[in-house]
Amino acid sequence: AQRVTQPEKLLSVFKGAPVELKCNYSYSGSPELFWYVQYSRQRLQLLLRHISRESIKGFTADLNKGETSFHLKKPFAQEEDSAMYYCALTPTGTASKLTFGTGTRLQVTL
């Protein structure tokens, strides 16, 4: 069975400070990892996925298979980054049901 763990319910940082949202996973095979974001009163939307190796809105995430982690990072937090962030995985090569973590609320303050 697959599982995603986000240990922090709330992360509060000052504007301009670095951000790291933690995500650990357990899965016996090779998963695809994602970060989804939900801004206030908006729908859940994909932020980035490890297979694309992209940087979106200044966020990056590196898959560390040894530590089974996929932490989300941004060097300088902005107010508009305040949102709920969900880490998710799906098994490689399947009709991709997503397994989500419990989410971390990022609060960026002045």
Q: Which residues bind another protein (CB under 8 A)?
A: 32, 43-46, 49, 51-52, 86, 90, 92-103
* Closer CB to another protein, 61 or 90, in the complex: 90
Least distance from another protein to the Cβ atom of residue 16, Å: 30
Least distance from another protein to the Cβ atom of residue 18, Å: 26
Least distance from another protein to the Cβ atom of residue 108, Å: 23
> Cα 27 from chain centroid?
17
Least distance from another protein to the Cβ atom of residue 102, Å: 5
Residue 52: CB atoms within 10 Å: 10
- What secondary structure letter does DSSP report for 67? T
d(Cα 84, Cα 99) in Å, to the nearest integer? 16
CB 7 within 8 A of CB 72: no
* Closer CB to another protein, 74 or 104, in the complex: 104
* Closer CB to another protein, 25 or 77, in the complex: 25
Q: 69 CB contacts (<8 Å, ≥6 apart)?
A: 22, 23, 24, 25, 63
* Closer CB to another protein, 6 or 71, in the complex: 6
